[in-house]
Structure 1
Amino acid sequence: MMRNMKPTLTVICLLLNLIFNSNRLSAQPVPAIDENIPYLVTFGGDGDTAWGDDDFCQIIFFSLPETYEHPFFIRVFDPDISEDIDEPKGEWDTITRFSIYGGQGACSEEDARRSNLKGNYNSGNLLATKTFNANPRYNNNWYTFGPFNPTEGELLRDYGGYIFKLIIEGLSGDDGNLYKLFLTTERDENRPVEGAFAFYFKYKFRLYNDVNEVSHIYPYITSDVIAIKQSNFDWDNDGFIRIISPAKNGELLKTSGDDQWTESRHTITKEEHNSSLDIQLIKRKSPMVKDNNVVIFLENQYGELMPFYSIPIGGIPKYKYSIGIKPKK
């Protein structure tokens, strides 16, 4: 049974309002600019988990402010599975389904926020769906879902407003579908919805092949969190993952090998409350691990999944080197 998280989530919403009132609108793309992640990834349902997808499904949530009253669209870049961007395994034979849900239970249903796909994870009202295969029409192009009315979402004020859920499922085949998303006010153009943002409880993405690129994910630490457990899959021993926060200057997370899960627990200090963590994914220099796909999720001390946000709430955290240093007498 999930605890009542309303007080801490209300704090999150207040901070989000501060961010968006400051015109920080880069949260609209997924992956976001601050994350420095090239693509999301979903393999076909017959895929090999050793290629970096543990269950061939990804769930992304979008939050629109309750005050927003205009139609909006969700756009997908390169939703097909074919040349240029996607990852082949033999012939292109993969079919991927994109489905958008709103209404009661879209996000409040606990199964929708779990790290597995058991139960009622596709809860809510189905608003739109489309399957894609190797269609050159959508190669390196955008496909647009919508328009949607904001009130078609599930109203959850503790998550910032009206919530919509996008489920990406690999129905068949074994290729990797790499893609990007954008929440926009326009059908044919990426214009952000002011005050909207994305969040996710389990994140699957491709790392850059450039060893000098550092990717980031940003969980927010509320005042009731005293410890976290991170789990990552198929890291392929590709360098290291570390935490930067007001109290941590590069604390290392345990990382996984090929086709493996691993986990590690980390204590949270009071200096880290009500701020984001900057979880940095840093590739090894040599030999380079090419086309590395990674899965990661985070739990608090109660075993509840913690959302990653498309921008760092409160800004990118910086280590405060003075923490713990006592003045000389």
Structure 2
Amino acid sequence: MKKGFGITLMFLFNFNFIQLQAQAVPAKNENIPFLVTFGNKAEKNWGDDDYNQIVFFSLPKEQKTPFYIRIFDPNIGGKYDENKGGFNSSSTFSLYGAGCFSEKDEENKDPIGNYKKGNLINSKTFGAETIYDGKWFVFGPINPLEGEYLPNLGGYIFKLVVDGTSGDDGNLYRLFMSVKDDDNIPVEGGNAFMYEYSFRLNESQQISHLYPYIDQNTISVKQFNFDFDNDAYIKLIAMSQPGLRLATSADGVWGNSLHPMKKQDQKTCLDLLIVKMGTQSNNNVVFYIVNQRDQFLQFHSIPIGAIPKKLIGIKPVKK
């Protein structure tokens, strides 16, 4: 007799004020295994729509000592990465400081326009070098004052741009903003955010979370997801409602749906639950969300303010 997993959603609704000290990307509370960036010759139905990931890091103005951006498994080859007939790919990681943030939302999300604007602090291209397989590579030490000072975004802003620069393999990696070069020690008061999230779904039946921030002027949101392969479903949990099923995409296409927001949802983070139901492995997806003005919303590693929570029970089910 086999045992599977049934996922029970219990509609006990409460409010959780998160104060986490972490700048891991993906964050532990998101339960996402890896970011994913494919080489620029990959087929898009492998789960990457633009072969690019842009991540912003914010440091409070009180941070005076140097910090580091640590990258886990930056190469494309070996244990974690996705092999498409022999590793032949490269990825370039570029860190930008002053002047890095664009007033054009799309340049903060996609590799179009002047998306590499800002003072280039460091850049490195990785191939299949085994020396980096399953290891950490470090940019730094970095002076916080090298960033772009934007108080409304949390302080000094830095931008990490990851481009798939050759080949067709998938680069799976994680990031951490740390005060140490040889350990993951978070910057107190720091955060990370992005406008589009390209990531690997869990292989087992688990629940992942995304936390887009809703500002005081948002009255509706439209979510877009790419290449879910009908392998998971998405629930939107807001202060105004305990859970709403969202449209999900099939293989190599976008899915989207529009949802109104109420006053109590403003100045909070939504909790987007991605519930893995199938058994498909190597499923990579892309997600972004806009408001009624077509402005891209930020996904925060550390949710801002209040987030609605619904208790999720996962229990074995006999089959």
Q: With structure 1 as the length reference, what TM-score do the two structures score?
A: 0.87
- The 1-side partners of 2:226 and 2:46 are apart by 10
- The 1-side partners of 2:201 and 2:250 are apart by 15
- The 1-side partners of 2:220 and 2:106 are apart by 23
Letter in 2 for 1:128: N
Match of 2:77 in 1: 82
Match of 2:234 in 1: 241
**Structure 1 residue 239 displacement after superposition:** 2.4
- The 2-side partners of 1:182 and 1:124 are apart by 21
Q: Which residue among 163, 186, 189 is the counterpart of 2:183?
A: 189
Q: What is the CA RMSD across the aligned residues, in angstroms? A: 1.6
Structure with bigger helix share is 1
What percent of counterpart residues are identical?
Answer: 47
Query: Is the contact made by 2:109 and 2:194 (CA closer than 8 Å) also made in structure 1?
Result: no
Does 2:138 match 1:147? Answer: no
Q: Which digits, 9 at most, give the CA deviation of each residue in 1:76-114, with x for residues without a partner?
A: 00000111100000010011000000112x113425645
Between 1 and 2, higher relative CO (CA 8 Å, sep ≥ 6) is seen in 2
- The 1-side partners of 2:306 and 2:88 are apart by 42
Letter in 2 for 1:135: E
- The 1-side partners of 2:56 and 2:253 are apart by 26
Q: Which digits, 9 at most, give the CA deviation of each residue in 1:122-179, with x for residues without a partner?
A: 1101100000000110000000001110010001111010000000000000000000
- Aligned to 1:87, what secondary structure does the other structure show? coil
Query: Is the contact made by 2:52 and 2:110 (CA closer than 8 Å) also made in structure 1?
Result: no
Query: Is the contact made by 1:113 and 1:201 (CA closer than 8 Å) also made in structure 2?
Result: no
Match of 1:215 in 2: 208
Q: Which digits, 9 at most, give the CA deviation of each residue in 1:33-73, with x for residues without a partner?
A: 11010000000011110100001010000000011111010
1:70-219 matches, within 5 Å, as 70-104=65-99, 106-110=100-104, 113-211=107-205, 213-219=206-212
Structure 2, unaligned runs of 5 or more: 1-16, 312-319
**Structure 1 residue 115 displacement after superposition:** 4.0
Q: Which digits, 9 at most, give the CA deviation of each residue in 1:12-44, with x for residues without a partner?
A: xxxxxx96xx5x203x10000110100000000
- The 2-side partners of 1:318 and 1:154 are apart by 34
Q: Which residue among 6, 21, 25 is the counterpart of 1:25?
A: 21
Structure with bigger strand share is 2
**Structure 1 residue 314 displacement after superposition:** 2.2
Does 2:266 match 1:273? Answer: yes
**Structure 1 residues 115, 108: closer, same or farther in 2, change over 3 A?**
closer
- The 2-side partners of 1:252 and 1:113 are apart by 30
Q: Which digits, 9 at most, give the CA deviation of each residue in 1:255-298, with x for residues without a partner?
A: 1110101211000011212211100101124xx12111110101
Length, aligned pairs only: 295
- The 2-side partners of 1:284 and 1:25 are apart by 31
Match of 2:5 in 1: none
Q: With structure 2 as the length reference, what TM-score do the two structures score?
A: 0.89
- Aligned to 2:182, what secondary structure does the other structure show? coil
**Structure 1 residues 291, 300: closer, same or farther in 2, change over 3 A?**
same
